[in-house]
Amino acid sequence: AQTVTQSQPEMSVQEAETVTLSCTYDTSESDYYLFWYKQPPSRQMILVIRQEAYKQQNATENRFSVNFQKAAKSFSLKISDSQLGDAAMYFCAYRSARTSGSRLTFGEGTQLTVNP
């Protein structure tokens, strides 16, 4: 079974600064996808960024980028120019590349606080 670990229960960052959230995972599969989801206090989970394991290039979405290290099974999220609206719980998630009914396996989450 796959597991996802987020070792930072809480992180804080100053507005406009950069912060990196850590995530490691364990799997015996070679083909899979990794995601970062954001969950604001309203609780609606929103996809931030995704990475296909077969791609060596790290994914980037505006101020959000990842550092994907497949051999180390590490998948960190970097938020640049942090904004107050970035404050939320962030979840790292794994999904098998098999086609049918592939569930998301989530980490425990990292609560991000953005200080003005």
Partner 1 sequence: GAGVSQSPRYKVAKRGQDVALRCDPISGHVSLFWYQQALGQGPEFLTYFQNEAQLDKSGLPSDRFFAERPEGSVSTLKIQRTQQEDSAVYLCASSFWDNPLETQYFGPGTRLLVL
State yes or no: residue 48 binds partner 1 (CB under 8 A). no
| Nearest distance from C-beta of residue 8 to partner 1, angstroms | 13
- The span from the CA of 41 to the CA of 54, in Å, is 33
Cβ proximity to partner 1, 1 vs 116, nearer residue: 1
- The span from the CA of 17 to the CA of 28, in Å, is 36
State yes or no: residue 55 binds partner 1 (CB under 8 A). no
- The span from the CA of 22 to the CA of 7, in Å, is 7
| Nearest distance from C-beta of residue 40 to partner 1, angstroms | 10
Matching residue, tokens 């980037």 = 60
User: Does residue 65 contact residue 75 with C-beta atoms inside 8 Å?
Assistant: no
| Nearest distance from C-beta of residue 72 to partner 1, angstroms | 21
| Nearest distance from C-beta of residue 18 to partner 1, angstroms | 24
Measuring CA to CA, which residue among 27, 32, 38, 33 is closest to residue 4?
A: 27
Q: How many residues bind partner 1 (CB under 8 A)?
A: 28
The residues binding partner 1 (CB under 8 A) are 4, 33, 37, 42-47, 50, 52, 91, 93, 95-109
